[in-house]
Amino acid sequence: MHTNKINANIVLKELDGGIRFGTDALLLADFASGMRKGLCIDLGTGSGVIPLLMLASGCKADFCGLELQPEYACNAEDNAKSNGFCERFKIVCGSAENARSLFESGCADYIVTNPPYMRADCGAENKSTALNIARREISGGIAMFCEAASWCLKSGGSFFAVYRPDRLVNLLCAMRSNRIEPKRLRAVVASAGCSPSLILVEGKKDGREGLIYEKDLIIYNDHTHTSQTEEMKEIYGRF
């Protein structure tokens, strides 16, 4: 078990050989930070880092983390207890594929997800089965996550996701196919002029057509990646 003190004074325990907290989780937590009171379900919560970041930064919503892998579900539950959020952050061990049997329809006001980005047949496999499941669509792809989100969300509820730019079409099509209308999109770039490395998307269940493309979120001031932009510093400051 690896223990780290990260943003918002969270003590985060992560499994040895498992997936680590990264910039994508931090940026998604910030992108979704406008939540009010209600229930937010984190599909594929892993160590629980996204709900923990949001709770520690003052988010008013309560959280439920859905996690397929039992060892990660136990890890997330331990992290919730260690950081004093066990009353506001509950863990359910199960697959998004079984969302209809795990959650009542329309139970959630918000959904956040940092799903597996890679196709099951993409690139060299990790030696760790846990890492393969976390990074690759071995147990289900983005369509499954969006179907689960639609089932759980109330009409008018909000969906927040971080995804790979080269697979953005898959995400947007899966959202709309499941009654989640894309409403806000923001590209993350390492430095000005670079191609996007991540895409942040917000959708609304049963929302009307109309997508706002926000200005790029630029991480570094220069191509040497030595100096963070003021916006990135502000994001770290908020968390």
Q: What integer is the mean pLDDT of 142-171?
A: 97
* CATH number of the domain bearing residue 63: 3.40.50.150
- 223 is a domain residue: no
Question: According to the per-residue pLDDT averaged within each range, which of 20-24, 129-133, 136-140, 228-232 is highest?
Answer: 228-232
Q: Which is nearest to 90 in space by CA: 109, 62, 117?
A: 62
Per-residue pLDDT tens digits for 75-122: 999 999 999 999 999 999 999 999 999 999 999 999 999 998 655 555
Q: What percent of the chain clears pLDDT 90, i.e. is strictly above it?
A: 77
Distance, in Å, from the CA atom of 159 to the CA atom of 35, rounded to the nearest integer, reads: 11
Domain that holds residue 146: 2-186+198-212
Per-residue pLDDT tens digits for 2-40: 666 666 678 898 887 777 778 999 999 999 999 999 999
Q: Which is nearest to 156 in space by CA: 191, 113, 110?
A: 110
- For residue 138, what pLDDT band results from cuts at 50, 70 and 90? low
Mean pLDDT for the chain? 90
Distance, in Å, from the CA atom of 4 to the CA atom of 14, rounded to the nearest integer, reads: 8
- 50 is a domain residue: yes
Q: Which is nearest to 113 in space by CA: 161, 76, 175, 152?
A: 161
- 220 is a domain residue: no
Q: What is the pLDDT of residue 3?
A: 66
Q: What percent of the chain clears pLDDT 70, i.e. is strictly above it?
A: 87
- 157 is a domain residue: yes
**DSSP reduced 3-state for 93:** strand
How many domains, in total, are found in the chain? 1
Asked if pLDDT for residue 136 goes beyond 50, the answer is no
